[in-house]
Every structure is written in C-alpha cells, then in structure tokens.
Amino acid sequence: MAPRNKEQEQEVLNWVFAVIGEKVPSGQYEDILKDGIWLCKLANKLAPGSVKKIQERGTNFQLMENIQRFQAAVKKYGVPEEEIFQTADLFERRNIPQVTLSLYALGRITQKHPEYTGPTLGPKMADKNERSFTEEQLRAHEGELNLQMGFNKGASQAGHGGMGNTRHM
C-alpha cells in the first residue's frame, strides 16, 4: 500500500470543493469524504444528474451507498474501473492513498470532457499526436528494415551451447 501524501490529499480537497463551489470544511481528509456526500455532489457537478439520490444522513449502509453511487458515476464518466477505489478503502479507511489516486484519475479524465471548464487537478494530459506518412515515406522505411534484416541473415545461435566458456568437470 502506498504511503499517504498529505499535500496530495490537500490538493484533492481543494479541487473537490473548488469544483463544487464550497469552502473546504475543517477536519481530516478521510472524515470529510467518508460518507460520500461530497463525492456525489462532485459527480453531479461534473456530470449533472449522474447521482440521482444522495443520502445526507442515515445508517452506515445508506452512507456507503453514496460511495457506490459515486463510483458508478465516475466509471460512466470515464475513469477506468481499476483506478476507482473500493468502498472499504474510504469508508473503513483501508486504503486512503487509493482514494486519493482515484480522485486524481477523475481530475485527469475531466480533461477529456470539452464541456468541463472548471478547475484542474494534476498534470495536463498530452494531446493526441497523430502523424501521417505518404506511401513513399512508408515504402522507403520498409526498404531500410529489409536492409537491416539482411545484415543478420547469417547470424544465428546455432552451435552455442549456452554454457559460455565454463569448463565441464
């Protein structure tokens, strides 16, 4: 498990609340996020209506449903499933660094949504760098490859016993 990084946690909180448009509440990172309410509000800011019902209070089970609704919403938004934290990672504090990584992943994915113009989190993603080659350029490259392969025709591993220069006793 990765160690916790308080600076990243603060950066995540600043981003979450900047997107929501609220002041960062005081308290511990995991306590602020634990019930999933703020996460659901975040999901709805990024993709309006993506979380239909937010439990503002209730049993642990009901509050854990907030986290599950958030997870479903961010998966639909485009965060790869393997980057989404498990409910217990946050609710039972099993793996808080994974929660942070998931929120960074979400911040990264917002960059793929042109409709999103809010605050950013983490490094800017590289833009697609498409290259196009003429038929002539491709054929010239093919010729180079064939030439390189021609130099190796006679070389092989045949006769090499794999023992190097060791003596057999």
Residue 9 domain flag: no
Does the predicted model carry a pTM greater than 0.85?
A: no
Pairwise CA distance, residues 112 & 12, whole Å: 18
Predicted confidence (pLDDT) per residue in 84-120, tens digit: 999 999 999 999 999 999 999 999 999 999 999 999 9
**Could you report the per-residue pLDDT of 24-36, keeping only the tens digit for each?**
999 999 999 999 9
Query: Is residue 42 one of the residues assigned to a domain?
Result: yes
Whether residue 32 lies inside any domain: the answer is: yes
The CATH number of the domain holding residue 99 is 1.10.418.10
Quick check: 13 and 119 in contact, CB under 8 A?
no
- Sign, Cα dihedral of 113, 114, 117, 121: positive
User: In terms of residue numbers, what domain contains 37?
Assistant: 27-111
Asked whether residue 80 is assigned to any structural domain, the reply reads yes
